[in-house]
């Protein structure tokens, strides 16, 4: 089913912050989905994203078995934003150089903006950010310009304006980055040009309608472990199926002591 509104795709490299990126985007009334890095390019193209965000991740681009996307994905004609490891993947695939940092950064740092850019519109020239990386980009790809730095990282951000490709070594999605929301908004609305045309309530309503149409008055079962995902799925399914829904409790062995009883209740 074609979604009649703006869409952002997040490609997940295994970052602990990927869900937070999605939350920040959705809080700005923009629809987004998360795809694993293993997703084929055909699936990505079929989604028809207005922009693609490459998440961070725990790997290094020079590690054996490090997660990568194909360079062909970067040739999709939409704006790209690489965050942390996502920026390093972008740099590596586009011909830049990534190396282990002499001084690994984890925690607060101070960003110094070097170039005027749409991505940093409305941000002070110097501001606190949150870093979490062990590698750095020592050479940006050809036709990319470095737009900011920190004390330990000379390439804290870069961009190729013609291709609308942007990278941030720091994490704009966390609260510790003072202008993080502003930076994400600049990418969404000024660079990608998406609209604030989606509401969570609309999403829930559409899913209720989809499930109701799929079940067509028949009975349905829902596996329920008590976790957030299965519980939300059960609540939405219940709105659609009502008395025809039977939830089956699956004790996955990961609940707290006596929690299985409370879930059943």
**CATH class of the structural domain 7-191:** alpha beta
CATH architecture for segment(s) 200-264: 3-Layer(aba) Sandwich (3.40)
Spatial neighbors of 242 by CB under 8 A, at least 6 apart, are none
Active site residues: 84, 171, 173
Looking up tokens 């050479």 gives 139
pLDDT for 1: 45
- List the alpha helices (DSSP H) in 119-243: 180-185, 200-215, 228-241
pLDDT 10s digits, 106-123: 778 999 999 999 999 999
**In which residue ranges of the chain is CATH 3.40.50.620 found?**
200-264
Ranges of residues in the chain with a pLDDT under 70 are 1-3
Q: How many Cα neighbours within 13 Å face the side chain of 163?
A: 20
pLDDT 10s digits, 26-35: 999 999 999 9
**In which residue ranges of the chain is CATH 3.40.50.880 found?**
7-191
28 to 11, 71, 218: CA distances (angstroms): 19, 29, 37
pLDDT for 3: 57
């Amino acid at each position: 089913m074609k979604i009649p509104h703006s869409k952002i795709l997040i490609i997940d490299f295994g970052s602990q912050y990927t869900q937070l990126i999605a939350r920040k985007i959705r809080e700005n009334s923009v629809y987004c989905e998360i795809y694993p890095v293993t997703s084929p390019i055909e699936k990505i193209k079929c989604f028809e994203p207005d922009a693609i965000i490459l998440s961070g991740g725990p790997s290094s681009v020079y590690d054996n078995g490090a997660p990568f996307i194909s360079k062909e994905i970067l040739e999709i004609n939409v704006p790209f934003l690489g965050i942390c490891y996502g920026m390093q993947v972008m740099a590596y695939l586009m011909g830049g150089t990534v190396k282990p940092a002499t001084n690994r950064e984890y925690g607060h740092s101070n960003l110094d903006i070097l170039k005027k850019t749409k991505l940093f519109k409305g941000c002070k020239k110097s501001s606190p950010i949150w870093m979490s990386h062990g590698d750095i980009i020592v050479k940006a790809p050809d036709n990319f310009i470095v737009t900011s730095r920190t004390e330990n990282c000379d390439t804290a951000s870069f961009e190729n304006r013609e291709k609308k490709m942007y990278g941030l070594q720091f994490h704009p999605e966390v609260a510790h980055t003072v202008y993080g929301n502003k930076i994400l908004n600049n990418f969404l609305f000024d660079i990608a040009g998406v609209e604030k045309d989606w509401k969570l309530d609309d999403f829930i309503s559409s899913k209720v309608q989809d499930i109701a149409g799929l079940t067509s008055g028949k009975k349905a079962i829902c596996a329920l472990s008590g976790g957030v995902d299965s519980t939300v799925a059960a609540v939405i399914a219940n709105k659609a199926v009502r008395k025809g829904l039977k939830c089956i409790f699956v004790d996955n062995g990961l609940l707290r002591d006596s929690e299985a009883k409370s879930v059943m209740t």
